Amino acid sequence: MVVVGAGVFGCAAAHMFASQGRAVMLLERWMNEPDRIVGELLQPGGVESLRKLGLESCVEGIDAIPCYGYHVVYHKEDVILPYPETEADGKVKVAVQRRGGARDYSESLNRAKRSTNGSANGSANGSARESDKSNQREEGRSFHHGRFIMKLRKACLNHPNITVVETEVTKMIKGEHSSEVLGVESVTIDKETRKKTPDYFFGQLTIIADGYGSKFREELTGKKPIARSKFYGLELIDCPLEPKGFGHVVIGNASPILLYQIGAHETRALFDVPLDEPAASAAAGGVRGYIQNVAVPALPAAVRPSVLAALADGRIPKSMPNSWLPPTAQAQRHRGVLLLGDAMNMRHPLTGGGMTVALHDVVILSELLHPDRVPNLGDADAVRDAMKVFHWRRKSLSSIINVMAQALYSLFAARDDRQLQILQRGCYDYFERGYTDEPLGMMSGILREPLVLASHFFTVAFLAIYLHGADICKGPLGYWKFPWVALEAVLILWRACVVFLPVCWTELR
């Protein structure tokens, strides 16, 4: 088979198929270590998939940092959301954290790390499960994306059934009398002479995983991603980020900001900037002006000097579009080819779920396209049947991560929309009340029950309505203002439906 793109999906898929005895050609346009601001926090569900694929060593020896959950800063308040505890069979234990309980947990975690490592940085390489068995919680990992990719590529280069070729794929090769894809055409550059020569690769099945800017997406699916904002990334050096071992989300006065440690000394800061953001217009100083004037004041005071130091080089920070692309069933209009990974499905990176979805997809394919079920990958009917099952089976994880990312982004990015701001406050209050195990279990890819997501989302909406109603009824006229409360309740509920239901609908197809 031919796999296009040695990114997260392509490497994991090539390695899995090769380990099942298939002969794989893995084609990548650029084999040097990628220097990108994407794919730096792997959720516990992704770590678990890596383990299932026999690739868990790829997060070792790269100065990866364990991640125990999230820390949300909302205006001047903050709350810690640890990943939930799990039972021995991986089932999520659900409990309501008492107020402050999560913070006690994070403090005891940091104390334990300081006493075992002699350092609070806690760069860890071993198992992705917290060692204290009485309190077993899954862990994520954050790292430099390029280092992780190079480990995945090394695993492929060392595999006897994989041939890795540095070449840029330009076209699919189709049969003369049908649209069946037989392989791909590419351009290879000679390292010494820099001469470009065409190359041709043929396989029983071609898998295209060429990422967010896929050259082949439109031809194969007819779809284009939608982006409402971009993430601009800075690398902060020795940033005093507390609590350690958590991904940090800053919401309220600026569009969401993410902060997470990616190495013993490096922290990634990602600033979401809406495409129509007036504070990022040329007249207002562009993106650098937005970061300095809007984002930096929203950050915890201890973090601000590191951000200003990273901005001091005067350059525009690296950026990436935050795309939304609902999944497409691989109906095999074009037999012989599959489009997968980010090329087929993307969601806002706010919740760091893309790699977890990609690795989980590979785990599902390892079962559905196993040589015992599909001995010959050239059997297009057998592949089509397997992909029909794939489309629905992946949803237990991918739909949750897709819908959650889009819905939370709408809530967390709200600065001018009154109803969304009310929902935002409701969401923060919900977390503060300690209802975090299931939401965090879903975000981290370990709890896979889409209906649980709907129940939490609408509970947040009703809590927001209740809090807002209570605010209105305070003060003069008290409960006489009930008609106003009822009207506001309808508007808030309507807004929640507008955020949640259209995204859900795209997942039901």
- Of 225 and 426, which has the nearer Cβ to ligand FAD? 225
Least spacing, CB of residue 187 vs ligand FAD, in Å: 9
Two structure tokens written together for 86: 């799990």
Judged by CB under 6 A, the residue of 19, 29, 284, 300 near ligand FAD is: 29
| Residue showing tokens 């919401």 | 251
Map residue 447 onto helix, strand or coil.
coil
Q: Does 405 bind ligand FAD (CB under 6 A)?
A: no
Q: Which of 2, 10, 427, 448 binds ligand FAD (CB under 6 A)?
A: 10
- Tell me which residue has its CB nearest to ligand FAD: 7
Taking contact as CB under 6 A, which single stretch among the options 3-11, 69-77, 403-411, 447-455 is the one that binds ligand FAD?
A: 3-11
* Shortest distance in whole angstroms from residue 210 CB to ligand FAD: 4
Is residue 355 part of the contact set for ligand FAD (CB under 6 A)? yes
User: What is the DSSP pairing of strand 69-74 with strand 247-251?
Assistant: parallel
> How would you class 502 by CB atoms within 10 Å of its CB: exposed for 0-12, middle for 13-18, buried for 19 or more?
exposed
Residue 281: CB atoms within 10 Å = 13
Comparing CA positions, the residue from 115, 77, 132, 117 lying closest to residue 99 is 77
Among 342, 429, 437, 488, binds ligand FAD (CB under 6 A): 342
Q: Which is nearer to ligand FAD, 400 or 465 (CB)?
A: 400
Q: What is the DSSP letter of 325?
A: B
The nearer residue to ligand FAD, 22 or 144, going by C-beta atoms, is 144
The yes or no reply on residue 215 touching ligand FAD (CB under 6 A) is: yes
DSSP sequence for 146-163: HHHHHHHHHHHHT-TTEE
Residue 187 tokens, joined? 């351009």
Rounded distance between C-alpha atoms, residue 181 and residue 338, angstroms: 10
Q: Nearest approach, Cβ of 185 to ligand FAD (angstroms)?
A: 11
Relative to beta strand 69-74, strand 168-174 is unpaired
Rounded to a whole number of angstroms, the minimum distance from the CB of residue 439 to ligand FAD is 17
210 binds ligand FAD (CB under 6 A): yes
Question: Is the alpha carbon torsion for 175, 181, 183, 188 positive or negative?
Answer: positive
235 binds ligand FAD (CB under 6 A): no
Q: How near is the Cβ of 353 to ligand FAD at its closest, in Å? A: 6
414 binds ligand FAD (CB under 6 A): no
Question: What's the N-to-C CA distance of the chain in angstroms?
Answer: 29
Least separation, in Å, of the C-beta of 42 and ligand FAD? 6
The 3-state secondary structure of 247-264, one letter per residue: EEEEECCCCCEEEEECCC
Check residue 296 for interaction with ligand FAD (CB under 6 A): no
**Which of these, 391, 396, 429, 427, lies nearest to 499 by C-alpha position?**
427
Q: What is the spatial distance between Cα 100 and Cα 355, in angstroms, rounded to a whole number?
A: 31
Continuous segment of H or E residues that includes residue 4: strand 2-4
Contacts of 100 (CB under 8 A, 6+ apart): none
- Alpha-helical (H) ranges within 168-223 are 217-221
DSSP for 353-391, written as a single string: -HHHHHHHHHHHHHHHT-TTT-S-TT-HHHHHHHHHHHH
Nearer to ligand FAD, 7 or 243 (CB): 7
Residue choice 66, 354, 439, 441 for contact with ligand FAD (CB under 6 A): 354
- Indicate whether 310 belongs to the interface with ligand FAD (CB under 6 A): no
Q: Which of residues 169 and 287 has its CB atom nearest to ligand FAD in the complex?
A: 169
Closest contact distance (angstroms) between CB of 280 and ligand FAD is: 16
Residue 130 vs 210, nearer CB to ligand FAD: 210
From the list 84, 211, 225, 439, which residue makes contact with ligand FAD (rule: CB under 6 A)? 211
* Phi and psi, residue 324, nearest 5°: -120, 125
For residues 42 and 352, what is the distance between their CA atoms, to the nearest angstrom? 7
Least Cβ distance, residue 217 to ligand FAD (angstroms): 11
- Binding ligand FAD by CB under 6 A: which of 16, 38, 363, 408? 38
53 sits near ligand FAD (criterion: CB under 6 A): no
Residue list 146-175, contact with ligand FAD (CB under 6 A): 168-169
- Stretch near ligand FAD under the rule CB under 6 A, chosen from 47-55, 84-92, 354-362, 493-501: 354-362
Is 259 among the residues that bind ligand FAD (CB under 6 A)?
Answer: no
- Shorter beta-carbon distance to ligand FAD: residue 86 or 322: 322
Beta bridge partners of 189: 196
Residues that bind ligand FAD (CB under 6 A): 4-10, 27-30, 37-42, 168-169, 209-212, 215, 231, 320, 322, 341-342, 349, 352-356, 358
